[in-house]
């Protein structure tokens, strides 16, 4: 009996484009830390960027649809 694994997304966390985006986010965060007038604003910038990146990854993972199709039923 043949089984098909189907999905709508092929998100890979180690792809070159994701590394480039991570580098860009790190540079933006570093820039925000450098131009911030105090340590509280610097910490707020770092925390805010971490929340934004975490939310983006969460939304990508939540929007992924996967299911298995077999000859008798799908799961």
Q: What is the mean pLDDT of each run of 10 residues along the chain (75 residues)?
A: 75 82 94 95 95 92 81 65
At 16, list the tokens.
């070159």
Structural domain includes residue 31: yes
In a domain, 48, yes or no: yes
Q: How far apart are the first and last CA of the chain?
A: 15
Q: Is 75 inside any structural domain?
A: no
Cα radius of gyration rounded to whole Å, the chain? 19
Handedness of CA 65, 68, 74, 75 (dihedral sign): negative
Domain residues for 43? 4-69
Tally the C-alpha atoms within 13 A of residue 36's C-alpha that lie toward its C-beta. 15
Burial of 25 (0-12, 13-18, 19+ CB in 10 A): middle
The answer to the question of residue 59 being in a domain is yes
The answer as to whether 74 is a domain residue is no
Total-model pTM: 0.72
Could you tell me if residue 19 is inside a domain? yes
How many domains does the structure of the chain reveal?
A: 1
Amino acid 73: pLDDT: 67
């Amino acid at each position: 009996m043949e089984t098909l694994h189907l999905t709508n997304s092929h998100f890979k966390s180690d792809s070159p484009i994701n590394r480039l985006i991570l580098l860009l986010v790190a540079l933006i965060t570093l820039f925000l830390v450098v131009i911030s007038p105090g340590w509280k604003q610097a910490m707020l910038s770092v925390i805010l960027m971490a929340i934004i990146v975490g939310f983006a990854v969460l939304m990508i993972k939540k929007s992924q649809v996967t299911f298995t199709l077999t000859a008798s039923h799908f799961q």
